Structure formats: structure tokens, C-alpha cells
Amino acid sequence: MTRFALTVEYDGRPFMGWQRQAHGPSVQQAIEDAAYRITGEDAAVHAAGRTDAGVHGLAMRAHVDLAKDIAPFRLMEALNAHLRPDPVAILACAVVPDDWHARFSCVGRAYEYRIVNRRAPLTWESGLAWQVPQPLDSAAMHAAAQALVGRHDFTTFRSAHCQADSPVRTLDRLDVERDDDRVLVHAAARSFLHHQVRSMVGCLALVGQGRWPVARVAEVLAARDRAQLGLNAPPDGLYFTDAVYPVSG
């Protein structure tokens, strides 16, 4: 049995999320079905994270154990051939030690949220970004975001369906920058709660629109009350961008 590490890119629009489920297609199912057609094995694919319906992946890390003797490059090519026409691509494939685990070995995860700040409707980016027509003050958004950096109880920014044992997380980075009519939010942490990034972005957007003062974000964080959440941003603009592993892994 060989363990293969995969780097996966996908457009989340056609999927119910990463995780296999009974009521719709998933990224995990697409890769597992492709692996079965190649090897005849019912192999489970494990990922660094579980993105929701409509959320995208630029470099999701995953692993799969296969008995078939196959070179990593050939497996990557075969998976990509069998994944068509699903919008999923294997960008890299490598053999890793048996104790390397895409989820449990991961020591850091990063997301990017893309906002298109213009009045004209989205065309090819529909479903790939969140359009906010009102002018956004990205500097105010960045200032407000800094209150969330560090170790906090993120109950306010946690989905009611979150299954994590604790709402406490350490947010390593939450930066907001503008690039012409794009406002990008960069978030990094060891792990995130369900809907945490989207909830944080939604509140920062309220600050950017002038509907909330900068200090309001710190106040709703301290409230530890989901009812205080101002807005949950849509999944369209959210991208899983990186999974970090120890150098030895």
C-alpha cells in the first residue's frame, strides 16, 4: 500500500462541498470515483480541510492510499483524465510516508476571500467572487480585522452547525488589501471554525460600507454570541489557498 499526497484545484460551484455526501456531488467523491476507475480500489481521499458548497480550492492538500503499483506522475495524469469534465484538477502528486496525514499532519491553513467592489454585474466571475456594489473602505476593514488576530473565543463567528469541540482559535493573520476594484481578505490559522472566514468577512464588509464603526468588530467578538453577527458572506468568494506541513513531513 502506497500513500500519495495530492495537491488539488477545484471550482466549487457544481459541488455540495469537499466532503462526500448523499444529497449531491462532492469534490471528494469525484476524486474517489476517478481513483476507482484507475485502480478498481475503493480508496478514501482525506483532505486538509472540508470546504462548504460553492467554496473553491486553489491548493487543497489531500492523500489517498492505493495498492496499485503506479508512479506518482502517471497517477496524476490518470486522475486528471478521469476527472473530466468535472472542474477538478490534480496539480501535484507525490509518495509520502505512511504516517503523513493531509488533515492531522497539517499545522496551518490559509484562505483568500475575493470581493469585487463595483456596480456593474459580474460576468465570468459570477460565482467566483462576491460583488459588493457600495464603495468599500479597505483601510477601515483592515483596521477592524486586527481585533480578530490572536487567540480568541470565536463563538460569534461560528456556525450553529459547527462540530468543533471548542470555539477558541488562534488567528495568525487577517489582512485586507485593495487591488483596483478587488478587495482581498487573507486569513491564516492552524485551523478554522465552520463559517469562520465567511462570518469575519461579512462583518468587515459592514465596516467597509460605513454601516459599522471599526470598533464594532471587537465588540461582537467579545460578545461571544452568534446573534451579534452582522453578516455571513456568501461562499462564492472563498478560496482555500494553502496547507502548511512541518518541513520533515
CA distance 107 to 170: 12
For residue 79, give the amino acid letter.
L
Q: Does residue 205 lie within any of the structural domains?
A: yes
Q: Are residues 206 and 134 in the same domain?
A: yes
Residues annotated catalytic, as ranges: 52
Q: Does residue 103 lie within any of the structural domains?
A: no
User: Among the three residues 96, 128, 147, which one is the final residue of a domain in this structure?
Assistant: 96
Q: Are residues 216 and 113 in the same domain?
A: yes
Q: Write out the residue range of the structural domain in which residue 171 sits.
A: 109-244
User: Which pTM does this prediction carry?
Assistant: 0.95
User: Among the three residues 51, 72, 96, which one is the final residue of a domain in this structure?
Assistant: 96
Q: What would the grid cell of residue 37 be? A: 476507475
Q: Does residue 145 lie within any of the structural domains?
A: yes
CATH of residue 166: 3.30.70.660
Q: Are residues 123 and 239 in the same domain?
A: yes
Burial of 240 (0-12, 13-18, 19+ CB in 10 A): buried
Q: Are residues 118 and 45 in the same domain?
A: no
CA distance 249 to 246: 5
Number of domains in the chain: 2
What are the start-end ranges of the E strands in 118-215? Answer: 130-131, 150-153, 168-179, 182-189
CA distance 49 to 216: 30
Q: Are residues 239 and 148 in the same domain?
A: yes
* Buried-state track 39-74, b at ≥16 Cβ within 10 A, e below 16: beeebebbbbbbbbebbbbbbbbbbbebeeebebee
pLDDT per residue of the chain (249 residues) written in tens, 0 to 9: 999 999 999 999 999 999 988 889 999 999 999 999 999 999 999 999 999 999 999 999 999 999 999 999 999 999 999 999 999 999 999 999 999 999 999 999 999 999 999 999 999 999 999 999 999 999 999 999 999 999 999 999 999 888 889 999 999 999 999 999 999 999 999 999 999 999 999 999 999 999 999 999 999 999 999 999 989 999 999 999 999 999 754
CATH of residue 37: 3.30.70.580
Q: Are residues 177 and 151 in the same domain?
A: yes
For the stretch 110-133, pLDDT in tens is 999 999 999 999 999 999 999 999
Q: Are residues 46 and 89 in the same domain?
A: yes
Q: Does residue 208 lie within any of the structural domains?
A: yes
Residue (of 168, 218, 165) closest to 196 by Cα position: 168
CA distance 49 to 54: 14
User: Among the three residues 96, 125, 143, which one is the final residue of a domain in this structure?
Assistant: 96
Q: Are residues 91 and 187 in the same domain?
A: no
Q: Which helix (H) or strand (E) holds 30?
A: helix 27-39
Q: Does residue 249 lie within any of the structural domains?
A: no
